[in-house]
Chain A
């Protein structure tokens, strides 16, 4: 048999039907539903008198619109949500899920969180499955070896009704990172380095497979951060081959197989890795030793420089349209070419989002904040755990105290300031060091200026009041 990549193996195992033009009907094993992209899909089902084919393979969780302030008062009653449209989207998910028989994790449940944090954490996401969600960062779940991608609302409806999607096969792209990461360099810096290298449209039409010794050594949570940003390079999915770390992560998760079923599944999962000699349509390689703590200067996730670097000049880009967009970006960001990144003052720090809100992210940030305090010039510093379980774990480790003592606000799980849909926003004209994944104009609120960073850099920046990493912070301490 010809050697196959992991993508090809998962694809082949899910073909229900093949049309003459090569389009395939692909079975979908897992479907995550949130409140923003589902109301019209449920409306469509109702209008056509259709049911959800496999409610048992579907999981609904609200995240985008939920405020991250307490959701119940002392008497246990729900605190009303002030934005009527947010409230309506949330209410509809809460009523649609049970009326279509879908498992629902509600706003006050301990397991509630961002869909892409909840899926892996619950063991809902499994290696070798196809997983979709009406959200582009669904690529995250590829960290566990699931072929996971974001879909639009009509496709959400299609999956609800048929548990399948009509798809064309993607091309494959190998992203190889080899070697040991330098001290202070986190998975987020790797994710940003990859987007910077490939460019935001560079992997369009491709599924990325992450390979190499750097990833072998990386934790599952780190891999989730990297796969989360596959979409920022244009790839709808990113894959990691399951290994012993994957098995250890999944063992005992509430929706994962148990006992003998787990052992059997584990054997199948380990066989998913690309065959020796399998070929990719494209390959890129990065030397881990050359990756530095990173920060974005512009309004695209590919606008990455090392934190000890400077704002580039738009004229330095060979591509004419990139020069124009760089000029616009600098104008929007109110930055000048040549400015030192580490001298840029920020007023907001956001630690959260499906990119960086898991326990390891919080530990990394708390490690820097311990015994320190945020600068007086910081107007808002938020830590938003990715799920209720992350929050509880962090509290058990005393991380909440570290954050609160340092001057951060310790919030309830949700998407928060990653996008301006709920009350957490960055005010117009202010700057934010953010651990999220998109620095688009207005993403964190109209006129907000976003610098994407790792949790460690976000924490160091909060202490310094300007963009800063742990090494520089120690310099400042002395």
Chain B
């Protein structure tokens, strides 16, 4: 997938906060029959949206590019639809104390930065996000509040590079085309 380079993200952050949000909550199984990555945002967090006071439909957070979540976000199945749904909502960064491995990898593959911060920092950001914009700086590796509080995080260097350059893994691999071609000349078992 071709995507835009991501150096920093500035805007409202949805203060979700809940722990153990699983992939079924992010996107229900009935959406697995889709044939496109687009449009899944409509089904995202449907169970939570049944509550009229949910954060997603709060006009203050309309179009927010950042999501703040609780620990173990994205646990459950490996369905990539969860990442597609969140990307389709326009979210480019998720801040949480921890993520399921597969979800983090799927999110990265779809150009979403998963930012791990300690629970205390996440709690602070949850409060700040009620009224203020946040800045997630991928280059500098910190989250910044409007009054200048900084929360530093670390990203895997490879993922950070890809996010900043707007590279997807296919682009990177295609740069090794010579090697792939050389490998193919030597050792591929043909299908007869």
Residues of A at under 8 Å CB distance from B? 13, 16-17, 19, 21, 23, 25, 27, 29-30, 36, 39-40, 43-44, 47-48, 50, 53-54, 56-57, 59, 65, 85-86, 88-89, 92, 123-124, 126, 128-129, 136, 152-154, 157-158, 161-164, 166, 254-258, 261, 265, 421, 442
Contact = CB atoms under 8 A, between A and B. Distances in A.
B170 to A, nearest CB: 5
B120 interface: no
B180 A16 contact: yes
A265 B191 CA distance: 13
Nearest to B108: A154
Interface stretch (B13-21, B29-37, B51-59): B29-37
Contact of B174 (A89, A161, A257, A258): A161
Interface in B164-188: 169-170, 173-174, 176, 179-180, 183-184, 187-188
A157 B184 CA distance: 19
Interface residues of B, number: 31
B173 A164 contact: yes
A43 B189 contact: no
A157 B36 CA distance: 13
B144 to A, nearest CB: 29
A25 B176 CA distance: 9
Contacts of A21: 158
B109 interface: yes
B189 A126 contact: yes
23 contacts: A16-B179, A19-B158, A29-B188, A39-B35, A40-B37, A40-B84, A47-B1, A48-B170, A54-B184, A56-B191, A57-B191, A65-B33, A86-B33, A89-B35, A129-B189, A152-B78, A154-B110, A157-B1, A162-B170, A163-B180, A166-B169, A254-B192, A256-B192
Interface string B101-120: 00000100110000000000
A322 B2 CA distance: 43
B185 to A, nearest CB: 12
A385 to B, nearest CB: 24
B192 A25 contact: no
B3 to A, nearest CB: 10
Interface of B: 1-2, 29, 32-37, 78, 80, 84, 106, 109-110, 158, 169-170, 173-174, 176, 179-180, 183-184, 187-192
Contacts of B183: 16, 27
Contact of A88 (B35, B169, B191): B35
A262 B1 CA distance: 39
A152 B35 contact: no
A50 to B, nearest CB: 7
B177 to A, nearest CB: 8
A158 B33 contact: no
A155 B36 CA distance: 16
Nearest to B171: A48
A88 B78 CA distance: 23
A85 B33 contact: yes
Nearest to B177: A162
B181 to A, nearest CB: 10
Nearest to A258: B192
Contacts of A85: 33-34
B2 A124 contact: no
B178 to A, nearest CB: 10
B174 A43 contact: no
B174 A152 contact: no
Contacts of B187: 13, 27
A16 B176 contact: yes
A104 to B, nearest CB: 14
Nearest to B172: A166
B180 A162 contact: yes
Chain A to chain B: the 8 pairs with minimum beta-carbon distance, closest first: A39-B35, A85-B33, A154-B109, A162-B173, A16-B183, A44-B1, A161-B170, A255-B191
Given A13-B187, A43-B37, A25 B179 contact: yes
Contacts of A163: 180, 184
Given A39-B36, A157-B170, A158-B173, A47 B180 contact: no
B2 A47 contact: yes
A265 B176 CA distance: 28
A140 to B, nearest CB: 18
Given A27-B183, A56-B190, A57-B191, 8 more contacts: A17-B179, A29-B189, A36-B32, A40-B80, A85-B34, A126-B189, A152-B78, A157-B1
Contact of B106 (A17, A126, A152): A152
Contacts of B29: 442
A174 B169 CA distance: 33
Contacts of A162: 170, 173-174, 180
Determine which residue in A16, A89, A126, A258 has the highest number of CB atoms from chain B within 10 A of its CB, and name it.
Answer: A16
Contacts of B110: 154
B80 A25 contact: no
A89 B191 CA distance: 26
A158 B106 contact: no
Determine which residue in A39, A56, A154 has the highest number of CB atoms from chain B within 10 A of its CB, and name it.
Answer: A154
Given A16-B183, A21-B158, A25-B176, A124 B191 contact: yes
Contacts of A123: 192
A301 B110 CA distance: 32
Contacts of A256: 192
A254 B191 CA distance: 9
Nearest to A136: B78
B36 A40 contact: yes
Nearest to B84: A40
A36 B81 CA distance: 12
